[in-house]
Each structure stands twice: as structure tokens, then as C-alpha cells.
Structure 1
Amino acid sequence: MKSSIFKIILIIFIFSLELGSFRQENELNQIIKRIKEKYAPDTRIAVFNISYKITGNKLILIGETDNLKAKQELISQIKLKTKRESIIDSISILPDSSLINYSSGIAIHDVNNLHSGPSEKAELVTQALMGTVVRLLKKKLNYYYVQMPDGYLGWINSNNILICDKYKFSKWNTTPKLIITSLNSVIRTKPSEHSDSVCTAIMGCILQKSDSIYNDWIKVELPDGRIGFLHDSTVMNLNEWKTSRMLTANNIEKTAKLFLGVPYLWGGTSIKGFDCSGFVKTVYFLNGKDIPRDSDQQARLGKKIKCGKNFKNLKKGDLLFFKKNNGEKIGHVAIYIGNWIFIHCDKYVRFGSFDPKSEYFDKNLAKRFLFAKRLF
């Protein structure tokens, strides 16, 4: 009898321990979730990969974040809610300490791919044009985890960026620059169409300007130090270009039409290939407005417009958002250009229409239309 009672008490004791452990782990998970939602609700633009291990009485926090305040608040909340004082902090803060003297990189080639992981086989998530400055966060194998100027995160091959110390970065920042304004250009070894090619450059690429001018040719320096020549009709002083941008409906339409026929590329943001949001982002950038990378991020901008009967309330340049084929979430974006017609990248950059009588009518997209936003 006594033996049976002892076994029952032991089972109850063990169960209470396991229940207590379960409750504490659940509370820890909730704390981590709350802090992540506060500081890194969108993991495409913020890093917060934190978990924990419990070994005896020790709680070990592991992972990484790019926000010191988030880490500090997490530890403070865990101590407060769990009454734990023995916490081992193994959370890394990005940028990694090994990069303390090399915080920036500059994209070298005309188009440089960023992937979801440190491999060319990983998903293409976005692209950086020549001259784009990225923030270095960490390195793995031959890849750097970087953050784009718009906050977007991805892995880029080290062969595609110039790693900058403070001196190199200062030199780049203070040197006058040019921006490519033609769709496609070839940087030549000499000021002549007949000379050899140094490399190609596309609209939006940024180069360092030299004071040397040879007839109609300008001497330029690439981010990695290579020297070449460009015809002056293909470039513009970067500062002058920025001040000349006018975000108007006609300019948006004109720029969008430049890219008709450019093929679809998942993750693409260049004339070598766009996805739908990369196309919209590029069109707006070339007219002086930086907007986020993805369609759902773009949908948070601007003023929501009541389209009205026959879309009469829409204006040229408004953004149109469409749901995915298999759900209610945003999965596509287009630019409205008037008369029920829009321009978007789906298979390639092309026209679409809400009008069943139009040659551009897209029945599928018409059914998936969600709402419109006005950004200017």
C-alpha cells in the first residue's frame, strides 16, 4: 500500500515538473514572438533569429539579430516574466565583429544577384546595380549577407562586390559620380566605338567620374577601380540627375513603356529581367521615388483610392494590387495608365486591361483585383 502511494506521489511530482517546464517554455516562446513582432515584423528587412536551450537550471539564448535594443529588451523581459537570473547570452549582434573595419560593399557589375542563402542555387530575392552601396552583416563561405539601401536582405557572391574599409568608402562617397541613362551601354577601353569592351552597364548603374573628356567621351572609373570610357550621351551627373527627376503621371507612363518586352525574372529589378514589384520599383526609382521591394510592402504606401464605376477615379501612375491565384494575399502589382489599361510584368512587361473588349483584357487579373493606391 505504502509503495503504491509513493509511486502515485512520484508520478504527480514528475508531472508537475513537466507541466511547469511546459508552461515556462510556452512563456519563453511567447516573449520571443512578441519581441520579434515589435522589432522585426518583416524578416525581409530585419534580422531576429533567436531561440533557446534549457540545460538544468541554465537558460541559454542563441541566435542573431541586427538590433541591440531588441536583444536587450528580450533578456529584460525573460528575467522579469520567468524570474530567471541565470541567463547565458549567446546572441550575436550583426554586423559580425569580424567585419568591424569593413562595414560596406559596392556592387561591381551591371547587375548583381542577391539570394535567399549563400549559394547561387538559392532563390533569387533581389538585385543590386553597379554602384549600389550595401551594408555588410556577415560572411559565410564565399558570400556576404548584406542589406540593400531599401533595407532588403540577401546573400551576394563576394566576387560581385568591392569590400570597403573606411578609406575606400570615403573615397567613393566624395568622388563625383555619373549615372547611366541609356537602357544599355558599353564601357570601352578607349574613347572610340571601335575599341574593346571593359564591361556593360545598364540604366541606373553608377560610376565614378573623371575630369578627363575626350571629344564626346567621358573617362570613368568603375567601383573596383577599372578605367573606361563612355559616350557622354549615355550618362548624366548623378546630382543633376537627382534634381531633375519629376514624379509625374506622364513620366511614370513614359518610363514604364521603355521596358515593354523585358522578360519576367523572379527577384529581378533590372532591364535584364523584372518581377512585377521589381518593375514597379524601378519605374518609380527612375522618377526620383524610392519605394519598397515587394508588392505587399508597396501596398502599405500611399492613399487607398475608391476606383468608382468604370475605374473613373483612378489616375495615371496609381498602383493596382491583385491577390494571388490561391488566396487573398497580395501577389501582383501593376501601374495604371488610363482608360482601363495598366502596364505590368507577367511573363514579360506588357499591357493589361480591365475592359473585356480590349485586346489587352486579362480575365484572370480582372477577377483577382483588390484595390488601388496613389503615391503622389
Structure 2
Amino acid sequence: MKSLYSLSFFTLFFLFHGRGNAQSTMPDSAVLKKIMHIAEQTANRFVPDKRTAIFEWQPADGSYHIQTTETEAKAYFLQQIADNHISNAKVTINLLPDSSVASYVTGIVNLSVANLRTAPRNQAELATQVLLGTKVDLLQKKDGYYRVRTPEGYIAWTSASSVTPVSASALQQWQRSKKVIFTADFGHSYSAPDEQSLRVSDLAMGNILTWDGIAGDFVKVQYPDGRQAYIRSGLVRPFDEWLGSRHPTAENVLHTAKSMMGLPYLWGGTSVKGVDCSGFTKTAYYMNGIIIPRDASQQVLAGQPIDILTADTLDVTKALSNLRPADLLFFASGKGRTPDARITHVALYLGNGEFIHSAGTVRINSMLSDAPNYSDFETRTLVAARRYIDQADPALQPISQHSAYISQTAD
């Protein structure tokens, strides 16, 4: 899964410098260079990962507009401007969430799968997905899109129709309400307790709705946007009951992973409608009660490192000895196995040299060269492994303790 990045400060500089009608209002080049340096310094210090925090700089007609999610970054930038005695530049800083979302800084996803994109337009690259019933932070609204932050911290844009903004009291009420989770792979909700009635929406594994009663073989539910519907009772479980039954053992994680065999690869996908490599591992752990980082390059930083290399080269004997089922395997592009190699792929280890991953489809391959399902490591090189099972790591967050799903306010 590719990282989500903003335009670099140098790109923004040259875009601005090249505007013919801006030359007369552009500040002295030394001042511009100094401001650019301070902006880059601030971003590097407070926003090391642009997928989970924002510090964007946009010069326009002699002024400098900055927006950021980081209060400390704003304070640091302004202090640096003052310390460098820069007084002839007009700088405005927009701290997110901003006034475009008014007082509604929280939303709940109301589609079975909401698509999040790298920019506020339909043609933009798919960055990730979020499931129905998931709370997101609303940071900004623009051109019919919300910029949101997901429970794992990922920031991207989704259509305003995908999310229902809620007040603090409405969020608390939703979190405390009795809910159900859809546990089948796919399904539908209906306008009446009858599968011949008009459909209300499609449903996907992991969707969460408010429970509103029972009607025969159906459960009556309510969507975040207030729609009411009926779902076959055998396709859902009470959310609290489901959450209490989550035991993120290797066996359970791999059972979920194998249930996704054959799903198509989808860049940015994190649902049973299609998954990319890290969306696949994320879903396997999520359905067992654990929220993990979104991208492979983030996932490789979590959990316990497992030694599988000798002299920066895969040592199959060592790997077979040290790896356990449900460990995550990380691959880098190219042939080099350097310690700082760029991670581009991730898989779940099954045992006996085999792993399951999303590559074209969700499938099983082997690291053993004589196996019939051997995967070609010339183009997808195994460089690292991490263990998530039974690891205490702030990056591995239990759903049962996460504010996106559970009320943090005492009753």
C-alpha cells in the first residue's frame, strides 16, 4: 500500500514561483527561502508521517497559508518566524479541525464501505476504506468531501454522503446504545422483515448498526443517518457479545484470513469487497478485536521483531525456526535486502514456510523454493517479520478500549 503524501514544499515553491502574476507581490527571495526552510523543519519535526498528521504550506499572492492538525507544530512555526525576525510576510495558520465542520468534529460512517481518497474528488487515488458504523474525526469540509481521521489515525478524504456528522451527545448516545455487528461476508438490509421487500443497502463483514428490536427471524436496525431496516438475525451478533468473544489468537486470526481466500486485490481496499496487502492483514486482525496500523510500512514498525535474516539475506532455516503462525512478513521491492529497505508488501505467516497474502487475489504461497506454490522473491523480497499476538504495543489497539467504538465517559 503506497504512502499518502502531500505536495512537497519544494514543489509548492516552484508552482508559486512560476506564476507570472505573482512576481510583483512575492517577498524577497531570502525571506521566502527562510520561510520555506522553517516550514520544512516544522513538518519534519512534528509530522514525520504525512498519512497520520498534516502540515501543509501553500503560498499564494505574497501570503503563506498553512494548515495543520498539530497544535505544537503551529506554535513552533510561529515561534521560529518570530525568532528569525520575519515581519514582512503575511502568514495565516489554519488548525484542523477548522470552522468548515462547524461544531461537528465527529462523524459515523453510514455506507457499508466508505471510500477514502487522497484528495477531495472522485478521480483521486483510493487511499483506504472505513466500515459502516465506524466513528471518524471530521477535520475539514471542502467541495462536498470531508477530510477525516480513521480509528488507526489515517487521514484522507471521503464524500460527505458517506458520513453522518454527530454532536458530542449524539456520539455518546450511539456508543452506549445496543448494537449489532454483521458477521457474514456479504448481505443486505431490507425495508421490512421480508427479503422480498425493498432493499435499504448492502452490508459487508464488520458493519455495525444500532439494534432496534426483533421482528420474527429479523433484527430491526438503525443506521447512523436514521434509516431503519431489517436484517436476517443469523447474519448478525450483538456487538458487545461479539466483542467479548474476540480472542486474537493465531488460530483465530488465520481463520479469518483464510475466510478471505480468493478475494480480489484492490488498491486501498480494507473490506471483503476487495483488499490490498495491508488491508488484508488489517481486516484479519480487526475481526479478532485488534486495530493495527493501516499500511505495510507502518505495520512493520509495530509488534516484536522476529529474526529471519543472516547477513541481510533471508535465512530459511532460521525463519522456519523463529516464525510462528500469524506473524507478519514484510517484503521490499527490488533485490536488495538492506535493513532500511522500503516495505511494499505484507503477508501473514501460516507455518511450514507458507504464508497467506493479497497479491492479485488472496492466496497462499511458500518461501520454500521446492514447494509448488513458491513465490518469486526476486521481485518481492522478504526483509522483516513482526509478531503481534500477545504483544503490548500502543500501535496495536484493542477495539474494546478504543474511543471510536466504546464510550470513554463514565455512566
Task: Flag whether TM exceeds 0.5 (same fold).
Answer: yes
Q: 1:68 aligns with which of 63, 67, 71?
A: 71
Q: Distance in 1 between matches of 2:93 and 2:262?
A: 47
**Where in structure 2 are the equivalents of 1:96-245 lying within 5 Å?**
96-210=98-212, 212-245=213-246
Q: 1:314 aligns with which of 317, 323, 327?
A: 323
Q: Is the 8 A contact 2:345 2:380 kept in 1?
A: no
Q: Is the 8 A contact 1:53 1:61 kept in 2?
A: yes
Write the letter of the residue equivalent to 1:78. I
Q: Which runs of 5+ in 2 are unaligned?
A: 1-27, 309-314, 390-411
Higher mean C-alpha displacement, 166-175 vs 130-139: 166-175
Q: Which runs of 5+ in 1 are unaligned?
A: 1-20
Q: Distance in 1 between matches of 2:103 and 2:278?
A: 34
Cα shift at 1:165 = 3.3
Structure of greater Rg: 1
Write the letter of the residue equivalent to 1:350. R
Identity of aligned residues (%): 36
Q: Residue 377 of structure 2 corresponds to which residue in structure 1?
A: 364
Cα shift at 1:352 = 1.0
1:77 and 2:80 aligned: yes
Q: 1:354 aligns with which of 367, 383, 390?
A: 367
Q: Distance in 2 between matches of 1:316 and 1:24?
A: 56
Rate the CA distance shift 1:366–1:43 in 2: closer, same or farther, 3 A. closer
1:35 and 2:38 aligned: no
| Larger helix share, 1 or 2 | 1
Higher mean C-alpha displacement, 120-129 vs 166-175: 166-175
1:48 and 2:55 aligned: yes
Q: Distance in 1 between matches of 2:380 and 2:344?
A: 13
The superposition leaves residues 57-87 of structure 1 with CA deviations (integer Å, 9 ceiling, x where unpaired) of xxx542211122211111112222x133566
Aligned length: 351
Cα shift at 1:309 = 4.4
Q: Residue 4 of structure 1 corresponds to which residue in structure 2?
A: none
Q: Distance in 2 between matches of 1:282 and 1:350?
A: 15
Q: Distance in 2 between matches of 1:365 and 1:204?
A: 36
Higher mean C-alpha displacement, 272-281 vs 244-253: 244-253
Q: Is the 8 A contact 1:354 1:366 kept in 2?
A: no
Rate the CA distance shift 1:84–1:149 in 2: closer, same or farther, 3 A. same
Q: 1:344 aligns with which of 331, 344, 357?
A: 357
**Where in structure 2 are the equivalents of 1:292-307 lying within 5 Å?**
292-307=293-308
Q: Distance in 1 between matches of 2:168 and 2:102?
A: 10
TM norm structure 1? 0.87
The superposition leaves residues 134-175 of structure 1 with CA deviations (integer Å, 9 ceiling, x where unpaired) of 111112211111111111111111122212234543432332
Cα shift at 1:321 = 0.4
Higher mean C-alpha displacement, 64-73 vs 308-317: 308-317
Q: Distance in 2 between matches of 1:365 and 1:224?
A: 49
Q: Secondary structure at the residue paired with 1:41?
A: coil
Q: Distance in 1 between matches of 2:201 and 2:306?
A: 44
1:333 and 2:351 aligned: no
RMSD: 2.2
Cα shift at 1:208 = 0.5
Cα shift at 1:131 = 0.8
Rate the CA distance shift 1:309–1:324 in 2: closer, same or farther, 3 A. closer
Q: Distance in 2 between matches of 1:93 and 1:367?
A: 40
Write the letter of the residue equivalent to 1:45. T
Q: Is the 8 A contact 1:143 1:158 kept in 2?
A: yes
Q: Is the 8 A contact 1:322 1:370 kept in 2?
A: yes
Q: Distance in 2 between matches of 1:219 and 1:374?
A: 40
